[in-house]
Amino acid sequence: MIRNPFKEADANKRKRSSDILKSGFDFNKVVNKRARILILSVFACFLAMAFRLIQIQLIENENYAIKLEAFTQKNQIESPPRGIMVDRNGVVLVDNEEIVNITYYPQKDLDSYSNAKWELAYRFAVQFEISSDSISERDWKDYYLIVAGTTRANAQLLTEEEQNQLKNKELSESQAYALKISRITKEMIQDLKNEAQSEDDIQKKRLSNEQKYIAWPVMMKMEKATILSSSVIVENASEQATAYLIEHKEEFGGFDISTDSKRVYPYGSTLRDVFGKVSTTGLEEESKDFYQANGYALNDEFGSSGLEQQYESYLSGTRTVKQITYDEDTKNPIFTTIQEGKKGYDMQLTIDIDLQQRVDAILQNTLTEAQSNANRKNFKEMFFMLMNPQNGEILVMSGQQIQDDGSFIPFASGNYLQNFMPGSTVKLATLYMGLNEGAVKPGEVILDAPMYFKGGLVKGSYSNKGLINDIQTIRQSSNVYMFHIAIRLGGGHYTPNGTLYLPDIESAYQIFRKYYSMFGLGTKTQIDLSYEETGVAGTDDQPGKLLDFSIGQYETYTPIQLLQYVSMVGTGYKVQPHLMKQIYEINDKETVVLQHQTKVLDTLNGNTEYIDRIKEGMRLCVLSGSCGSGLGSLNKDIAAKSGTAEVGMADSGTSNSLMIGFAPSDEPTVSFVCVAPSSTTGQLQGNVCSVVSTKVMAEYYKTYE
C-alpha cells in the first residue's frame, strides 16, 4: 500500500482547528463594529444626497429651469422659401411666389374627431365653400373608415377569418387597413353619406353623415395638424376669404392666416417632370420615417421627385421655429418666433434653356408633320439629348408626346424612365468587343450576304453589302459582320445550311453583357436624379437570340444610356451625366456650397486603336450619307451611327428610328442621342432621327460654334 505523504500535515491542521474552536469569542464587539460601519455608510449617503440637493436647488437651479422649460416647451416649425433653380447662363427656371394660406393649429383640449371638432370643420367648410373635389378618391375612403367606425368597418370589409387573424395578431393593423381600403367603393361611400341620422345623434345634436361628408375635406386636414406643426387648410386663399377669417376669427378657433411660397415656372411645363414636385400635403407614408428622422414635421413640405427630391437638403433651407403658448380664455394658440428661418440655397443647372426650347420646338414640329403620314400612325413620342462627353454636363434633355388633339405633353424624364430597342446603334460596342476579344482582326474582310441555317432560318443585312472590312461595316451598318462576331464568340463556325451550333453560348452572353455594361448599356448611368430605369434584359439566351443581341434586337436601353455609351466611344471613358452644375448662397454665386466634380465611372478596357477604327467608320457614315445626307451638309466634323429596330409583332412592320453621335470626331465636346419610338409602321420610312439630328446640331452650332 502506498504511503500518504500528506497524512502528518493533515493531522496538524486538524489540531489547529480544534485550538481555534476552544478560544473565546466576543460577540458584542463584532456586532458593535459592524453597526458603526453601517451608520457611517448611511451618514455618508445622506451627506452626499444633501450636497447634491444643494447643488441642484441653489448652484444649478437656473440651468435646470432652462432644461425644464425646453422639455415642456412646444414649438412649431415652418418651411422657408426653397432655393431657386437657374440654367447654365443664370436664367431663372424655377422660382417662388408668395401666397397667403389659411392654416389650422389644434386648440387646447379639443380631442381628435370630437363632436366639437367636427362642428368646427363643418362651419368652416360651409362658410368658405370647400369643395368635395378638393381631395382625392383615396381620401374619401378614409372618410368611410372614420365615420363608419372600426367595429362596423371591420365587419363590413373583412371576412370572419380575417377578423380572427387580426384579433390573434396574425394579421397586422397595417395589413388589415390596406385590405379595407382596397374594398371600399364609391357606392359604399355614398350609401354611408345618405344614411338617416339616429334618434340618439339627433338628441345629442351631432352632425349627420351628410354634414360630416361636407366637413371631411377640412376635417381630414385639421387632423394632420400636430402640436409641432399647423396644417394648411386652404392654399393660396382669396382676399375675400382671408378678410372674412380675420374679421370672424373668434368663430373659427385655431384657424389663422399665414404667408408661404409656392413654386412657379417661368417656362411653363418645360422640364417640369425633371425639376420634380414639392409635396405640400405632408409627409408620405412610405418616406415618413426617413424625413422625420431628419427633423421634418408631418406637415412639412418636401421635394418628392426629380431634382427637388435629389437636392432636398440644399433647396429646403433652414426652418423657422415658433414657440407655442395658449390664450387662457379662448384656448387658442399664440406663436412667438424664437428662430428665424433661412431660404434654401440656389442651384445652377447645366441646361441651356434657350437651346432646350429650340430643340423642343423641333421635336414638336416633327411629330405634328408625321401625323399626316399613314406610315407613321404610331409615332407619338420622341426624345433628344445633348451632353458634354468630357464632363457629363447635360445641355438639353427633350422629350415630347403628341396627343390625339394635337397638343403636347413634355416628357423629358422619358429619357431616363423609358427604354427602347436600340437597333444598329449597338454595333459600335459589338465591333469593339469582336476586335478586342480577337473574334475578328482589324481590316478583316467578310462577305455581307444572306446567311442560311438549317431549319429555314435566314439572317442578313437590310441590303447586301458585299465584301466589307470592320470600318466599312460601321459606315454601311452590316448585320452579317456582327453575326460572324457573335458566332465566333460562341465557339461556332458558320456553314451554309448548317446548324447554328454555339458550344460556348453561355460564355458568349457573359462577354456581350460585360462589354455592353462597360459602355453603360443595361446599367444605371448614375444621373443625379432619384430614379432611373436600366432597360429590360433578355431571358431567352438561345443561339439565334445571340445574333439578334449583336445588332440591338434583343435587349432594351434608355436614351440616356445610349448617350453615355456613345460618349464613351468618343472619349474612351464613361462619365456620370448630371444636371446640377453648382449650388451657391442666396443671390451670391461667388459663395459656392457644392460644385459638381466630373466623375469617371469606367475607362475603355482594351486597345484604343480599335476605337479609332470605329470612330473612322462613324465619320465616314456622316460623310458618305449612310447616316442621312443632313449631318454631312453641316460641313462639321461629326461622327454618328444610325439605327433601326423592329418592335412589336414580327409582321407589324413597326420600327424605332435612332441616331447617336458626337462632334468633333477627335476629342468631342458634344454628344447626342435621338430616339423616335415606333416612327415607322408598314412601309419603311426614312430615319426621322437623321433629319432631327441635323436640325438640332445646326441650332447647337449657332450657340456653341
pLDDT in tens, 79-102: 788 999 999 999 999 999 988 889
Q: Going along 523-653, which residue ranges are E strands?
A: 573-575, 580-585, 588-595, 600-603, 639-647
Least confident window among 317-321, 442-446, 634-638:
317-321
Domain membership of residue 4 (yes or no) is: no
Q: Which residue has the cell 430643340?
A: 359
- Reply yes or no on whether the pLDDT at 70 is more than 50: no
Same domain as 412, residue 507:
yes
Same domain as 368, residue 314:
no
CB contact set of 196 (below 8 Å; sequence gap of 6+): none
Torsions phi, psi for 249 (to 5 deg):
-60, -35
**Residue 33: predicted pLDDT:** 72
- Reply yes or no on whether the pLDDT at 61 is more than 50: yes
3-state secondary structure of 598: coil
- Reply yes or no on whether the pLDDT at 686 is more than 80: yes
Instruction: Please tell me the distance from the alpha carbon of residue 121 to that of residue 134, in angstroms, as a whole number.
Output: 15
**Residue 640: predicted pLDDT:** 97
Least confident window among 333-347, 392-406, 630-644:
333-347
- Reply yes or no on whether the pLDDT at 366 is more than 90: yes
Ramachandran class of 236: left when φ > 0, alpha when ψ lies in -120 to 50, beta otherwise: left
Instruction: Please tell me the distance from the alpha carbon of residue 466 to that of residue 463, in angstroms, as a whole number.
Output: 9
Torsions phi, psi for 533 (to 5 deg):
-80, 160
Q: Which residue has the cell 375612403?
A: 141
Q: Which of 301, 331, 349 is the last residue of a domain?
A: 349
This prediction's pTM: 0.77
Same domain as 194, residue 144:
yes
Same domain as 422, residue 395:
yes
Q: Which of 297, 326, 349 is the last residue of a domain?
A: 349
Q: Which residue has the cell 386652404?
A: 234
Beta bridge partners of 673: 385, 660
Instruction: Please tell me the distance from the alpha carbon of residue 611 to that of residue 435, in angstroms, as a whole number.
Output: 9
Question: What value does the mean pLDDT take over residues 184-194?
Answer: 94
Percent of the chain with pLDDT over 90: 67
Q: Tally the domains of the chain.
A: 3
Widest distance between CA atoms in the chain: 126
Question: What value does the mean pLDDT take over residues 644-648?
Answer: 89
Question: What value does the mean pLDDT take over residues 579-605?
Answer: 92
Domain membership of residue 522 (yes or no) is: yes
Among 509, 531, 529, 513, smallest CA distance to 521 is for: 513
With contact defined as beta carbons under 8 Å apart, do 81 and 345 qualify? no
Same domain as 118, residue 92:
no
CB contact set of 539 (below 8 Å; sequence gap of 6+): none
**Residue 600: predicted pLDDT:** 97
3-state secondary structure of 601: strand
Instruction: Please tell me the distance from the alpha carbon of residue 571 to that of residue 666, in angstroms, as a whole number.
Output: 8
C-alpha cell at 364: 414638336
- Reply yes or no on whether the pLDDT at 28 is more than 70: no
Q: Going along 536-683, which residue ranges are E strands?
A: 573-575, 580-585, 588-595, 600-603, 639-647, 654-663, 670-681
When the pLDDT of each residue in the chain is averaged and rounded to a whole number, the result is: 88
pLDDT band (50, 70, 90) for residue 324: low
Indicate the length of the chain as a whole number: 705
- Reply yes or no on whether the pLDDT at 623 is more than 90: yes
DSSP 230: -
**Containing domain of residue 459, as a range?**
355-704
Instruction: Please tell me the distance from the alpha carbon of residue 419 to that of residue 658, in angstroms, as a whole number.
Output: 13
Question: What value does the mean pLDDT take over residues 568-575?
Answer: 97
Least confident window among 276-280, 523-527, 532-536:
276-280
Same domain as 573, residue 696:
yes
CATH (domain of 317): 3.90.1310.10
Which one-letter amino acid corresponds to residue 158?
L
pLDDT band (50, 70, 90) for residue 108: confident
Domain membership of residue 10 (yes or no) is: no
Domain membership of residue 7 (yes or no) is: no
pLDDT band (50, 70, 90) for residue 111: confident
Q: Which of 185, 217, 249 is the last residue of a domain?
A: 217
- Reply yes or no on whether the pLDDT at 222 is more than 50: yes
Q: Which residue has the cell 377669417?
A: 245
Domain membership of residue 658 (yes or no) is: yes
Question: What value does the mean pLDDT take over residues 473-485?
Answer: 97
Instruction: Please tell me the distance from the alpha carbon of residue 345 to that of residue 316, in angstroms, as a whole number.
Output: 8
**Residue 82: predicted pLDDT:** 92
Question: What value does the mean pLDDT take over residues 109-131?
Answer: 92
Question: What value does the mean pLDDT take over residues 632-658?
Answer: 89
Same domain as 516, residue 658:
yes
Tell which wins on pLDDT, 301 or 68.
301
Domain membership of residue 452 (yes or no) is: yes
Query: What's the per-residue H, E or C state across 231-258?
Result: EEEECCCCHHHHHHHHHCHHHCCCEEEE
Tell which wins on pLDDT, 445 or 133.
445
- Reply yes or no on whether the pLDDT at 71 is more than 50: no
- Reply yes or no on whether the pLDDT at 581 is more than 80: yes
Same domain as 562, residue 506:
yes
- Reply yes or no on whether the pLDDT at 215 is more than 50: yes
CATH (domain of 405): 3.40.710.10
Domain membership of residue 386 (yes or no) is: yes
**Residue 295: predicted pLDDT:** 61
Torsions phi, psi for 447 (to 5 deg):
-80, 120
Same domain as 561, residue 511:
yes
- Reply yes or no on whether the pLDDT at 226 is more than 70: yes
**Residue 648: predicted pLDDT:** 74
Least confident window among 34-48, 350-364, 560-574:
34-48
pLDDT band (50, 70, 90) for residue 504: very high
Same domain as 275, residue 186:
no
C-alpha cell at 38: 453601517
Chain centroid to Cα 619, Å, comes to 38
Same domain as 230, residue 343:
yes
Burial string for 248-259 (b: 16+ CB within 10 Å, else e) reads: eeeebbbbbbee
Domain membership of residue 57 (yes or no) is: no
Same domain as 368, residue 312:
no
Taking each helix axis from N to C end, the angle separating 353-370 and 688-704, rounded to the nearest 10 degrees, works out to 160
